Amino acid sequence: MKQHSKKTLIGSIASILLMIPCHAETAQKPNIVVFLADDMGWGDAACYGSDKIVSPNIDKLAKQGVRFTQAYAACGVCSPSRSAILTGRTPYRNGVWAHLSGNGPAHLRTSEITYPKLLQKAGYETCHVGKWHLNSRQQFNKPEFPQPNDHGYDYWMSTHNNASPSHKNPDNFVRNGEPVGKVNGFSAPFVAKEAIHWLNDIRDPKKPFVLSIWVHEPHLPIATDKPFLAHYGADPKAKYYGNITQLDFALGQVMDALEEKGLAENTLLIFTSDNGPEGSARRGGSTGGLSGRKRDDLEGGIRVPGIVRWPGHIKPGTVSSVPVIGSDIFTTVLEAAGVPIPTDRTIDGASMVPAFEGKPIQRKVPLFWRTHVSDPDCRVAVRVDDWKLVANDTMNKFQLFNIEKDPNEKNNLAESMPEKLEELKKVMIETWKDIEKEGPSEWWQKNTARPKGGGKLNY
């Protein structure tokens, strides 16, 4: 009887041990949070050199993880940059080649594979709150066109584009297909509140989760709550500076919620911006001294804040100068979650994981940018190692820079280094031909985003 009990006990223990790896593996899958600012410049936080802006939570996040000094958006304008984050594919390849407004055909197609959809299939709960801007105005919240739920989000609350009429009391949010109505409050804190509500009250706590928080600040039209203005007194840029502090406050709310729920230790949290700052420096947006601004493929238009926290995987307080780009987010979160990268299409993004320790990233596709609304002389760019080539739209006029030595792009080396120029021209042209072949070229060949008669572009 005793021997039988002993065998039964051993058998029971063995059965339990066989079950543990499966449960442990599930428990170890990291949660994914991507917090995206809108039009925030590379110099728009204290930890990126601002001596004006109060950004305690962004700074705290940098101390807890890795701060990238050469993080890039995948495009100098909104919609394309966001499409690359979700798909890992450069905008012209995934089809979202332009800022999406009006009634053009471009949108994030259901044929594209997003990381939320892949992680959803792998057992993740998924949520998107904030700006969307991945279909045109006439397509948003219309069932015949793909919405956030069609791209892998179980729950979503979004605006098509900007908060309207401004960040104060916006009235254009839609929650899971139903209009929210007028909001009493300011955009970023409201978006953070919705994210926390989903975390606390809606998601299945037994499952890992994906949470996208895409705030509207500091995109125009700006509105800043009084507590965040108080830091800046009579400074003429107080409204803008306070708007950064407002989004920083929202980030802090999310960080606190993760801590309170015991989720922070197993969460990969990425903070970045969709492109460089809007308008002139007089409005307040800072490129940190870099040349160009939003829409440009010069550094000021595409270099953005980039901070990643992943406890146990990233040493707190790390600073990395390894170049990373928005499309890398796709590949990075899939690697972190143990989900295979799609092999049926070109994935432009590479995993950032080596760069968390300052190690170089091995890329199959070089860093590449193209926009149609910038200065005509800087609409295409490619970067290989320390070198960056900037070209006009037809790629017959070039500027060559050593970005490591000349991040402000003051010294055009195109004439003095003809061999390096030819080397990067070849890379640029070959990369573009490959992208053009795969993407829906009929969309940009029609150029439906441009107004008739050469009028002002509404970007």
Q: Give the residue numbers annotated as catalytic, written as ranges.
A: 78, 133
- Whether the Cβ atoms of residue 392 and residue 376 lie closer than 8 Å to each other: yes
Cα–Cα separations (whole angstroms), residue 110 to 149, 151, 171, 178: 11, 7, 28, 21
Q: What are phi and psi of 356, to 5 degrees?
A: -60, -25
Overall residue count recorded for the chain in this entry: 459
CB burial string 299-326: b at 16+ within 10 A, e below: bbbbbbbbbbbbeeebeeebebebbbbb
Distances (CA, A) of 289 to 91, 406, 413, 432, 444: 27, 12, 20, 29, 32
| Structural tokens at position 454 | 């050469």
Distance (Å, whole) CA 301 – CA 297 = 6
Q: Report DSSP state, residue 360.
A: P
**Residue located via tokens 């790896």:** 21
CA distances from 140 to 45, 133, 224, 237, 458 (A): 32, 8, 27, 33, 18
C-alpha to C-alpha distances, 453 to 77, 105, 213, 242, 277, nearest whole angstrom: 22, 20, 38, 38, 28
| DSSP H helices in 269-327 | 299-302
Nearest to 389 by CA among 419, 361, 425, 416: 425
